[in-house]
Structure 1
């Protein structure tokens, strides 16, 4: 039996008393969870036309794609990071590393957004980088140290007041003493088992020894999972540095994720990673490995105390592989069906910048994988960044959205065969 959108919100309010209400955050979360108004009446709207948008369109003229593909500006979205496309196809929700979540709507369905406004403006968000949807329309937003739940987000988002609950209360995603300004961009996905998977980047370049046991226990430097009522938390993945993108293979249910590797070892090492996890508890080598089979200086002389899983794909060093999604649409040619599309944000300290592009990774029948550029051109001949892709998401028509937090935009990539 399917739950209606209104019924979903009522179901959470009545059937899930274990979903905690905030008691220590001075915002309106408790009021919204009790279906009370907050007095907030205004949205912040983002202008979608004018010189700024035209400047972005000009940049997109230089982007190269395989034959038959096109790219265009979908929406101007400040600080756009990870995206969650609503299951109803009504709105796309875009996280940031600041204090906004944006709701993006294409009202006339011309495949260009008509409206961008802030979502749940009465709430105070803290690095709401990671939105994700369940198939039945529940929106989850993973913040720096909290996870929020919005039942029926696509129904309520037209109002400043929305049904909202705290799945993981403030200060309980990680210990408050471990909060950092570094590597705090969480991402989430609902897995095929119906649980929510959340990445927890660790804050160091190389984790110090005195943090290893604590981080392994609570899942920092890994991926945790829990039931969608916030109970049953467990550490699913260990031995990663800072994963900011994961998805599940629709054919096998296996988890795949990107990982950003150790800095300061040179321009060309260590490689970035796309990893393939086949069972709970697997360890992916960090901090003994800095990326691929390159040992870190800090742990170079130590015997690795557990069995590690090597990456399925090694990517170019320091390109900063972030968001990713498996392609399940029908618009693109057959060769792209079941492939991974991922965003490379671009290097921050490489002497010659690299990345700033969208990659495609194909998985062979034997499980081996290979990756290559799909959309590129956001670095010009002078080595200047003209954009920095963050995430890739799929619209219902099978086209792709790409977010860019530098340009503050969402791009749409489609195939017309021409």
Structure 2
């Protein structure tokens, strides 16, 4: 891998000629920014979120397919918009959302799960992390902490940390995925506030880390357009993250990608390069793809990786242990559809990474429809794997029977 010193580049603002699209008299909605004139009548648009409860009989559990020896069951339902999942020390599963603005708490009572709304009225509270019994919540431009959260499920008293963390208010790609690293710091991404635009390279397209109280901001990765899924390798502690490529550059370009951050402050290519795609819209002076570390894995065009999670259990067979599971929410800016599945990325012979389907059945290729959108992933203490489905407001549990 080629490594460059990009300190001067990081301090500069990044400009793209595509900004002209956003400066027209009648501004397009955020998702259409950068759409070329010849596609003005395109039917492509984001899928509207389903914000009502889906009855269990309408959740497509029976249609889901996993490798031989694995089973899928519906573990919890009644969580519209369910996305990221984290587990408290006493076993409560906390679930973040986006459009519906809720944080759920799920208690396992043995044969059934009880779902309650812990908080509501937040702006896209998709980022959750647990540390020392406290739940950290990252909404669009806020960071909250609920101390002793499992003892206060009925009356949470959030501590406001927003000023300390100084999150940007721009909504486009402002939703979060957060996690504590092996170093005890909390990692928070800052996506770009646009599809293609001029942006400040010190404020956006970053993954940052902080002390838990919001002090000592540190930039861990640069050139990251929109990461809403990352985890730390169980053996090496390295940061692995998925990244969304931009829209309106074609049905097959750019691909979404998986990266390993090998050194602090490393630049991963946006806006010039994404998964080997040299973006013609990027401003001069052109930076070539070979000036940046290549992605660890090219995941596929517009698959929308969200949950990005190392499996740390022992229930699954050996080849899945310490492997990376990635939930693809699925495409909107592409024909035909892509994603809408869970894949596993693992080391094969010679150290190369291979990508294999793990949970499928959400996407109907013949009809070009989907019946679910996998989003979050979580290993339980017994080694089973939870998979959230944001479209059906459901959580599935995957087990392996020896």
Correspondent of 1:183 among 150, 173, 177: 173
**Corresponding position: 1:61 with 2:58:** no
Structure 2 partner of 1:96: 97
Question: CA offset at residue 64 of structure 1?
Answer: 1.2
Alignment partner of 1:332 out of 282, 296, 316: 316
**Residue 155 of structure 1, CA deviation:** 2.1
| Aligned with residue 408 of structure 1, among 388, 393, 397 | 393
Determine the C-alpha separation between the residues in 2 that align with 1:196 and 1:340: 20
* TM-score normalised by structure 2 residue count: 0.82
Aligned to 2:266, which of 262, 282, 288? 282
Match of 2:215 in 1: 231
Name the Cα RMSD after superposition.
Answer: 2.2
Q: Which stretch shifts more, 313-322 or 359-368?
A: 359-368
Partner of residue 144, structure 2: 148
- For 1:28, the equivalent position in structure 2 comes to none
Residues 226-265 of structure 1 deviation map (CA, whole Å, 9 limit, x = unaligned): 0001111121111011101000001000000010102112
- The number of residue pairs the alignment matches comes to 348
1:131 aligns to 2:128 (yes or no): yes
Q: Which runs of 4+ in 1 moved over 4 A?
A: 364-367
Aligned residue runs from structure 1 range 17-416, under 5 A: 52-56=55-59, 59-76=60-77, 77-89=79-91, 91-97=92-98, 98-107=100-109, 109-110=110-111, 112-113=112-113, 115-120=114-119, 124-134=121-131, 136-157=132-153, 159=154, 161-169=155-163, 172-174=166-168, 176=169, 179-180=170-171, 182-208=172-198, 211=199, 214=200, 216-218=201-203, 220-289=204-273, 291-299=274-282, 302-304=285-287, 307-364=291-348, 368-380=352-364, 381-416=366-401
Residues 72-110 of structure 1, C-alpha deviations (whole Å, 9 max, x = no match): 111111111111122332x11111113211111112x23
Task: Quote the Cα distance in structure 1 between the aligned partners of 2:247 and 2:151.
Answer: 43
3-state SS in 2 of match to 1:228:
coil
Q: Distance in 1 between matches of 2:349 and 2:190?
A: 31
5+ unaligned residues in a row in structure 2: which ranges? 1-50
How far is the alpha carbon of 1:374 from its aligned partner? 0.4
Aligned match of 1:12:
none
The alignment partner of 2:55 has SS state of: helix
- Higher mean alpha-carbon deviation, 292-301 vs 191-200, is at 292-301
1:317 is displaced (CA, Å) by: 0.6
Cα deviation, residue 138, structure 1: 2.1
Measured in 2, the distance between the counterparts of 1:389 and 1:47 equals: 17
Verify the 8 A CA contact 2:135 2:149 in the aligned structure 1: yes
1:36-64 deviations in whole A, cap 9, x for unaligned?
Answer: xxxxxxxxxx999xx811111xx221211
Higher RCO (C-alpha 8 Å, min separation 6):
2
Provide the secondary structure at the position in 2 that maps to 1:154: helix
Considering fraction of residues, name the structure with more strand.
2
Give the 3-state SS of the residue equivalent to 2:378 in structure 1. Answer: strand
Mapped partners of 2:105, 2:164: distance in 1 = 23
Cα distance, 1:366 vs. partner?
6.3
Distance 1:171 1:251, change over 3 A: closer
Cα displacement (A) at 1:144: 0.4
Which consecutive unaligned segments of at least 5 residues does structure 1 have?
1-45
TM-score normalised per structure 1: 0.79
- Cα deviation for residue 292 of structure 1 reads 0.8
Q: How far apart are 1:204 and its partner, in Å? A: 1.6
